[in-house]
Structure 1
Amino acid sequence: MRPSQAYVNLSFFQPPAFLMIGIPGLEAIHGWIAIPFSSMYTVALTGNCLILLAVKKTPRLHQPMYYFLSMLALTDVGLTLSTMPTTLAVLWFDHRLIGFNACLVQMFFLHSFSVVESSVLLAMSFDRFVAISNPLRYVAVLTNNVIIRIGLAIVVRATVSLFPVPFLLKRLNFCPGKILLSHSFCFHADVMKQACADITVNILYGLYVVLSTVGVDSLLIVLSYTLILHTVMGLASPMERVRALNTCISHILAVLVFYIPVIGVSMIHRFGRHLPHIVHCLIAYVYLVVPPVLNPIIYSVKSKPIREAMLRVLKGKR
């Protein structure tokens, strides 16, 4: 081995583990903070699992709209399970260490489920567009085969988009003294900043993933609702307009609950470096924890069929 090669091998360092801070500045009250977090995780898992059971056990909910809602609920369960183990371990038990490879795996699933959620919300906007603009062909257009293909395309898209990210991080050289993560989970921007190497490729690829997934999805959702409004304004009866728009309210709220924190995270990471670190941390928690909590509440409140089906599941009825 040449001396230069030996030097390169010796100088290359990847930490065996990262140390997660949790919520910086509030370490002394992590035990108290764990209580609302545990409550939110419980609501998220219970609510989304109830939606899945309600749709499965209620034949009249075997329609495209509720199949897409099931996809959203399943995604929220995955997103919750991606962050819950390490977050509660840090807050309840002060267990802060996470292995390097385990961190990359968590990061992959965390961001993959976020991309899946964005894609599902786009699919739901397409569902609403078809239902309002061409109601007579709604079932003919969104057949079970079409819905399955849409679901598979969403999973493949997220997997292909995020698959290179862990490998791009593994090629980086890390500094022995920089192993502190700012959250209680592995966030791509957070892990990337721990490297003592040029991270331009990682930044550019991360930006590409955000723009080609969440960015494109948000623009298409806006376009779909522009077309929906155009269709609704063409309806002769005011009651028909109200009825048509009412079927979209739950989805609009779900879109806002997801995209507002996403935009906040993106803007803060790029332009908010001067803000206190706790602001970055709280926005990240809102982005990852709040949508899975609120989505079941939104749909159970706004959708009478879902609410009734969930109550039947709770009572053990079919």
Structure 2
Amino acid sequence: MSISNSTIFMPSVLTLVGIPGLESVQCWIGIPIFAMYLIAIIGNSLLLIIIKTERSLHEPMYIFLGMLAVTDIALATSIVPKMLGVFWFHAPDMYFDSCLLQMWLIHTFQGTESGILLAMALDRYVAICHPLRHATIFTHQLVMQIGVVVVLRPAFLVALFLVLIKCRLVLYHSTVISHTYCEHMALVKLAAENVRINKIYGLFVAFTVAGFDLIFVTLSYMLIFITVFHLPQKEARLKAFNTCTAHIFVFLQFYLLAFFSFFTHRFGSHIPAYIHIFFSSIYLLLPPFLNPLVYGAKTKQIRTHLVKMLCS
């Protein structure tokens, strides 16, 4: 139902443009994206199989890694199929409610991944700084409780996005989203009214989840480094540092890419749209793509079991 020539009341269908300015080459951009998606699915599935079948890996660090692998598979799958539908099959239309569901899935899985990285940092802190207490603190019951919390926290906060959008954003200037997926700010910018409260709540959730996690992850690794540098034996320092290198790399690539996309999308008005939309599409796929490669290369136990599984 149209209110005026330029205002649309509660559109039932939205249209995803993809990457504005690169429509003519999107079919080629889809090829490396599909390759990254395929590697992400295979790599994370192998991680899950190894962690599940090897009883020696049923420890908190590897259980958290298994949770991360499940989250990565879910995050990539919530983005790539529709993105490839836009790039390859010229299927840009999306029901409004489906758009909201995709938004909820993407931001929930992002928040879940952030929470798991925090849990992994705390696990490494206790294991290195208080090794004698690690087994009594990080019990399987606590690990499962942490898993429930890191999923429910973003799921609830992001669900409020949907409530605010459905209840307050009823008039829209356009139904065309200049993006490859249904992103919160990209949708909010289409609205003709009540935009401010949605933008403020978006910032609140971003800094409540990512900001909180970032502070405590950074603090955990600072305390770990202080403890490691005070270890008397060089071999002990190297062993402790090596157990954290994969986590640190994953932590840095996740947060640096996330904050780059966040700030360019909101404050980078002078940056061409195709640049920050391209990077905001890629950065969601990079963690699922890189995480199994990093942990497979840097974690000796996983590497050993992988070789054994492939050679048997």
Shift of 1:30: 2.0
Give the residue type in structure 2 aligned to 1:205. Answer: Y
Q: State the match for 1:240 in structure 2.
A: 236
Q: Which of 157, 162, 165 matches 2:158?
A: 162
What is the identity percentage for the equivalent residue pairs of Structure 1 and Structure 2? Answer: 39
Q: Does 1:106 align with 2:132?
A: no
Contact 1:40 1:293 in 2 (8 A): yes
Q: State the match for 1:218 in structure 2.
A: 214
SS at match of 1:163: helix
Q: Which of 70, 73, 82 matches 1:74?
A: 70
Q: State the match for 1:32 in structure 2.
A: 28
Shift of 1:246: 0.9
Q: Which of 80, 88, 92 matches 1:84?
A: 80
Q: Deviations over 1:106-159 (max 9, x none)?
A: 000000000000000000000100110111222221111010000011111111
Bigger drift between 231-240 and 248-257 goes to 231-240
Q: Does 1:283 align with 2:275?
A: no
SS at match of 1:18: strand
Contact 1:75 1:113 in 2 (8 A): yes
Shift of 1:314: 3.9
Runs of 4+ that moved beyond 3 A: 311-315
Q: Which of 238, 249, 253 matches 1:253?
A: 249
Q: Which of 275, 299, 310 matches 1:303?
A: 299
Q: State the match for 2:171 in structure 1.
A: 174
Shift of 1:183: 1.6
Contact 1:75 1:117 in 2 (8 A): yes
Q: How many residues align?
A: 307
Structural mapping, 1:93-242, within 5 Å: 93-171=89-167, 172-175=169-172, 178-242=174-238
Shift of 1:308: 2.2
SS at match of 1:31: helix
SS at match of 1:248: helix
Give the residue type in structure 2 aligned to 1:14. Answer: M
- Distance in 1 between the 2:295 and 2:88 partners? 31
SS at match of 1:111: helix
- Distance in 1 between the 2:40 and 2:310 partners? 16
List alignment gaps of at least 5 residues for structure 2. Answer: none
- Distance in 2 between the 1:284 and 1:313 partners? 36
Q: State the match for 1:56 in structure 2.
A: 52
Bigger drift between 95-104 and 236-245 goes to 236-245
SS at match of 1:247: helix
Shift of 1:12: 6.9
Give the residue type in structure 2 aligned to 1:110. Answer: I
- Distance in 1 between the 2:20 and 2:280 partners? 13
Give the residue type in structure 2 aligned to 1:98. Answer: M
Contact 2:265 2:276 in 1 (8 A): yes
- Distance in 1 between the 2:252 and 2:274 partners? 23
Contact 1:261 1:286 in 2 (8 A): no
Shift of 1:212: 0.6
Q: State the match for 2:265 in structure 1.
A: 269
Q: Deviations over 1:153-202 (max 9, x none)?
A: 11111111111101111121233x51111222100010111101121110
- Distance in 2 between the 1:54 and 1:241 partners? 28
Bigger drift between 239-248 and 98-107 goes to 239-248
Cα root mean square deviation, aligned: 1.6
SS at match of 2:14: strand
